[in-house]
Amino acid sequence: MEASELTGHISRRFDKDIEDLRNNVLAMGGLVESQLSQAIAAIVSGDSELGLQVAKDDYKVNNLEVTIDEECGRILATRAPAASDLRLIVAIIKTITDLERIGDEAEKIGFLASKLAAMDRPADSYRELKTLGNHVAHMVRDAMNAFARLDIEEAWETVQEDERVDEEYEAIQRQCITFMMEDPRSIKRVMNVTWCARSLERIGDHAKNICEYVIYMVQGRDVRHTLGSEATGSETSE
Amino acid sequence: MEASELTGHISRRFDKDIEDLRNNVLAMGGLVESQLSQAIAAIVSGDSELGLQVAKDDYKVNNLEVTIDEECGRILATRAPAASDLRLIVAIIKTITDLERIGDEAEKIGFLASKLAAMDRPADSYRELKTLGNHVAHMVRDAMNAFARLDIEEAWETVQEDERVDEEYEAIQRQCITFMMEDPRSIKRVMNVTWCARSLERIGDHAKNICEYVIYMVQGRDVRHTLGSEATGSETSE
């Protein structure tokens, strides 16, 4: 085998490694999106069983994270990638941490759905949680699309979307406080609603983080902490 | 210059890079510990100005994160480290993400301290928050010590400590619900206490994550998701 042939062979194997890695991250993203949408459905439909199933399935997300992490370590150790490939792998190591934490929040929402299903149900079937939930689910989907297509424009738009999610979240929290003050017997139930809103709002933060890694990956520059939306001075924003 | 001399030279420069990197992570840990202890002090003493100062200083933590992240990227790209050095750098990339998020929680606690300072103060000066705060501050310190000395035993002990933090956190949340039901006029104030407790509990989670990276770094095995404490079935645990 000629040296150039060998190099070509190694580089094709490397390309395949990277392609497999990207596909695994997208699969993990798909699983997390499905967990999230089922958790929201469980809240809205008052389906305790579905909520508990989501919580139970979180181990699948965790397993994918460990697998992808090991794969990143293996590629770093054996291929010593440079420049853009290296940035891709560092970005993936960070991205899967955020995906795993979105999974953790979906797990919590699943448990909360199961608790809320056993309590009085408001006439609007938690419409605000549904709206906020769909909003952050959309952010997660857009973040994964930006990752898949290395689409900086979509990444930036999604980063900016997080401010609107924060506003919706603040509105829900104010409403919850009003409900509790008007009807103290509702406090236990409404606290579950506030935890649920909190988890959804955090999912928006994680989606935003992923978009920032996409921008870093493509542009090679770190845009975190430069967007002025980190310190809003609000007690309820994360 | 002989080849062996050159190799020695490169490896000494590499050692120095790694040493600088470790020192920067420890400095970042020290800064985060200081932010956290000041935030707790601001709550306990009702010091609005101190709380706002902590929030304002969060940018220092963010700047250190970006600097260390870039340094890790540079070392990965130029030195292509193998085995334990590679694990160290991957662990550092993850550790500083958690340190930065501890900083974010301290920032939030700072804002909350400023709000609470302007409200009625309970006779016990938020004793439970102080206890929980000191507990998680201890976990952060132990996590950074485990990192500094690559001390697996301390890392394991700190991981286990997180369960006790979760119990304290649950107790505070139950107490908050009782307070609000007994005196609905206290709801706005008590909600700030619950957000504060939530932030402290999350800091415990981040300290636990750092300890798990230390174990990975030393043993080369991933212990996340194997400790059985991830899915407690509780609505309030993170």
* CA–CA separation, A134 and A86 (whole Å): 34
Phi and psi, residue A185, nearest 5°: -70, -15
Residue-wise pLDDT for A116-161, tens only, equals: 999 988 888 899 999 999 999 999 999 999 999 999 999 999 999 9
Tell whether A67 lies on the interface with B, counting CB pairs under 8 A: no
* CA–CA separation, B79 and A127 (whole Å): 54
> How many domains is chain A partitioned into structurally?
1
Position B180, amino acid? M
Q: Is residue A237 part of a domain?
A: no
Residue B141: C-alpha distances to residues A148, B61, B147, B208, B214 (Å) = 39, 16, 10, 11, 14
A125 secondary structure, DSSP code: -
Contact A102, A206 (CB under 8 A): yes
- Cα angle A133, A138, A142 (rounded to 5 degrees) comes to 150
Residue B139: C-alpha distances to residues B85, B216, B223 (Å) = 26, 18, 18
Residue A165: C-alpha distances to residues A108, A170, B6, B9, B130 (Å) = 19, 9, 55, 53, 32
Give the mean pLDDT of chain A: 90
Tell whether A220 lies on the interface with B, counting CB pairs under 8 A: no
The per-residue pLDDT for A4 is 65
Place of tokens 């016990």: B124
Band (pLDDT 50/70/90 cuts) for residue A227 is low
Q: How many residues does chain A have?
A: 238
Could you give the percent of chain A with pLDDT greater than 70? Answer: 90
CB spacing of B191 vs A177 below 8 angstroms: yes
Range of the domain at A162: 3-219
Residue-wise pLDDT for B179-194, tens only, equals: 999 999 999 999 999 9
Residue B61: closest C-alpha in chain A: A225
The per-residue pLDDT for B214 is 95
Structure-derived torsion over alpha carbons of residues B77, B79, B84, B90, reported in degrees to the nearest 10: -20
The per-residue pLDDT for A98 is 96
Helix (H, G, I), strand (E, B), or coil: what is residue A59?
helix
* CA–CA separation, B25 and B28 (whole Å): 5
Written as tens digits, the pLDDT of chain B (238 aa) is 566 666 676 678 888 889 999 999 999 999 999 999 999 999 999 999 999 999 999 999 999 999 999 999 899 888 888 778 888 999 999 999 999 999 999 999 999 999 999 998 888 889 999 999 999 999 999 999 999 999 999 999 999 999 999 999 999 999 999 999 999 999 999 999 999 999 999 999 999 999 999 998 888 777 777 654 443 334 443 3
Tell whether A206 lies on the interface with B, counting CB pairs under 8 A: no
Q: Which helix (H) or strand (E) holds B221?
A: none
Q: With contacts defined as CB-CB under 8 Å, which chain B residues touch A69?
A: 222
Q: Is residue B98 part of a domain?
A: yes
Long-range CB pairs of B74-78, under 8 A, 24+ apart, other chains included: B75/B17, B75/B18, B75/B21, B76/A76, B76/A86, B76/A90, B77/A82, B77/A83, B77/A86
Q: Is residue A227 part of a domain?
A: no
Q: Tell me the longest C-alpha to C-alpha distance in chain B.
A: 80
* CA–CA separation, A83 and A81 (whole Å): 7
Give the number of other Cβ atoms within 10 Å of residue A138's Cβ: 16
Contact A18, A91 (CB under 8 A): no
Q: Is residue A236 part of a domain?
A: no
Partner A, chain B 69-98, Cβ-Cβ below 8 Å:
69-70, 72-73, 76-77, 80, 82-83, 86-87, 90, 93-94, 97
Q: Is residue A234 part of a domain?
A: no
Residue-wise pLDDT for B219-232, tens only, equals: 877 777 765 444 33
Residue B237: closest C-alpha in chain A: A108
Tell whether A191 lies on the interface with B, counting CB pairs under 8 A: yes
Residue-wise pLDDT for A169-212, tens only, equals: 999 999 999 999 999 999 999 999 999 999 999 999 999 999 99
The per-residue pLDDT for B225 is 72
The per-residue pLDDT for A2 is 61
Q: Is residue A225 part of a domain?
A: no
Q: Is residue A238 part of a domain?
A: no
The per-residue pLDDT for B3 is 60
| B24-50: b (≥16 Cβ within 10 Å) or e | bbeebbebbbbbbbbbbbbbbebbbeb
> Smallest Cβ distance to B82: which of A72, A77, A93?
A77
Q: Is residue A64 part of a domain?
A: yes
The per-residue pLDDT for B7 is 66
| DSSP E strand stretches across B74-208 | none
- Tell me chain A's radius of gyration from C-alpha atoms: 20
CATH number for B119: 1.20.58.220
Band (pLDDT 50/70/90 cuts) for residue A235 is very low
Least Cα distance to A235 among B97, B114, B79, B1 occurs for: B114
